[in-house]
Copies of this chain bind each other. A is one copy, B any other.
Amino acid sequence: MTDYTPNADLDLVLERTVPVAPARVWAAWTEPELLLQWFTPAPWKTVSCDLDLRPGGSCNVTMESPEGEQFPNPGCYLQVEPERLLVFTSAMTEGFRPTVPGDDPTAFPFTARIELTPTGDGGTRYRAVAMHADRDGCRRHGEMGFQEGWGAALDQLVALMS
């Protein structure tokens, strides 16, 4: 399942072992009422999510800044292997429709792989990979705080589910 080898120039990777079973990590990622509680590092909030958990299904999450501004993040699921692998992208919307190219020149479309492997003692080896189109997008996502942001969200997931 985790046979993907990240590309050092184009991918960002967060890898950790967490004391939460794969089934519960999966639930946190796929059940809206759970995802709302951990997905966005405080003081940001996740205010709504519309998850249609199948390849081609919509994966739309709206975040809200501390100032109350809302940021919709439309996306689409690509692969759904329960408790093992979840792949989704910001480069498409429902039904695999490509998103408008160049709509926002500062945007960097990415595809995310959430890979879960049981550790044998009830925990999960957790790897999140964000795959970008080019080095510039990868760099900007890194500078925006990928490691810190996705890491803080994972801490919230662990606090919620363990």
Contacts and interface: CB of A to CB of B under 8 A. Distances in A.
Interface stretch (A20-28, A43-51, A106-114, A153-161): A106-114
A149 B108 CA distance: 32
A56 B3 CA distance: 13
Interface residues of A, number: 30
User: Copy number of this protein in the oligomer?
Assistant: 2
A79 to B, nearest CB: 6
Contacts of A133: 97-101
A101 B96 contact: no
B131 A111 contact: no
A105 to B, nearest CB: 7
Interface in A130-148: 131-134, 137
A95 interface: yes
A132 to B, nearest CB: 7
A97 B131 contact: yes
A10 B96 CA distance: 13
Contact of A111 (B79, B87, B98, B134): B98
Interface of A: 4, 10, 55-56, 78-79, 87, 89-92, 95-102, 105, 107-111, 131-134, 137
28 contacts: A10-B97, A55-B78, A55-B79, A56-B78, A79-B96, A87-B96, A89-B92, A90-B98, A91-B92, A91-B98, A91-B99, A92-B111, A95-B131, A97-B111, A97-B131, A98-B109, A98-B110, A98-B111, A98-B131, A98-B132, A98-B133, A99-B133, A101-B102, A101-B108, A101-B109, A101-B133, A101-B137, A102-B102
